[in-house]
Amino acid sequence: MLKRILNFLIFSNIYVAIPVSFLVFQSTQINNVPFDFVLLLFVYSSTLLVYNYHRTQGLNNILKSDLSLRILWAIDNIRLLKTLVVLSFIVSLVSAIFIAGKVLYLIPIGLLTLGYVVPFIKVGKRFFRLRDIPGIKATLIAISVSYVTCVIPLIGQLEPGQIGLQFIERVFFILAITIPFDIRDMKFDGHSNLKTLPIILGVKKSKIGAVVLVWFSIGLSCLIDVHYSNELVILYAKIASAFITSAIILKSNENSSEYYYSFLVEGTMIIQTILIVAALTL
């Protein structure tokens, strides 16, 4: 029974959207800006929408050799996933009305997200998505998540330079924890002719690169905290999360379970947020 519940939460992407939402909350707490529940609802629902729309569309190109547990679950529950796509679209649309002042800023990332899942680049007689460009899949995800969880909550609250630095820091962190998922998906991506970083560089180099990105984000965070006189406890919390995140990344491999990736790799966003909030409240 517990396993069925966990599979439902993971494979329906209901859980996946939670860590992303945590980052929105983290951005407001670090910078001491007002927390916007409607924006949080928008981020959660739109994340759920993108993940499930991508999943339902991707099922059309699955090979029998790629029938992993999550793919089999998706095939068996395709109606549920399509229902979640519709519901999350409605919630995203309604919540967007209440954050109308920020909708204009969402257009660029909306177009980027659309290009990620919809083929629009014509090469010869075929159409390709942005994610089909070799080595760019993880970067697109990192930019999209960082923009929505860092830039959007802080627009109008901080000066552009400060927002820009925090955005780059967030991109490093998200890119680092996205690379292990490319390692997990190497078999499927290989069959799809999708050139991700692990396929291009290999697993070992990709994991080392991911850890380096984690510590790049810490280095940039140090500069931000010193320049803008942020509380040092924030940096201490991020350093603690960096050690945990690095260990989780290095431990990941192609055979790691779905639970490992969902609850540990994606959970690094939750871990970092909890550590920072705890540090700020001490």
Query: Residue 192: what pLDDT?
Result: 60
What distance in Å separates the CA atoms of residue 56 and residue 75, rounded to the nearest whole number? Answer: 9
Query: Residue 258: what pLDDT?
Result: 82
Low-confidence ranges of the chain (pLDDT < 70): 58-67, 116-124, 126-135, 188-194, 229-230
pTM given for the model: 0.88
Query: Residue 148: what pLDDT?
Result: 93
What distance in Å separates the CA atoms of residue 94 and residue 221, rounded to the nearest whole number? Answer: 35
Specify the residue for token string 């109606």: 79
Buried b (16+ CB within 10 A) or exposed e, 112-127: ebebbbeeeeeeeeee
Query: Residue 145: what pLDDT?
Result: 92
Query: Residue 76: what pLDDT?
Result: 86
Query: Residue 75: what pLDDT?
Result: 84
Buried b (16+ CB within 10 A) or exposed e, 32-44: eeeebeebbbbbb
Query: Residue 156: what pLDDT?
Result: 86
Query: Residue 65: what pLDDT?
Result: 54
- Other beta carbons within 10 angstroms of residue 1's beta carbon come to 5
Query: Residue 259: what pLDDT?
Result: 85
Which value, in Å, is the radius of gyration of the alpha carbons in the chain? Answer: 19
Q: What is the DSSP string of 104-142?
A: HHHHHHHHHHHHHHS--EEETTEEE-GGGSTT-HHHHHH
Query: Residue 251: what pLDDT?
Result: 92
φ, ψ (nearest 5 deg) of residue 121: -90, 115
Specify the residue for token string 């970083």: 197
- Give 211's contacts (C-beta < 8 A, 6+ positions apart): 176, 246, 249, 250
What distance in Å separates the CA atoms of residue 209 and residue 225, rounded to the nearest whole number? Answer: 24
Specify the residue for token string 């290989």: 190
Query: Using one digit for the tens of pLDDT, what is the confidence trace for 71-120?
Result: 788 888 989 999 999 999 999 999 999 887 887 888 887 777 777 666 66
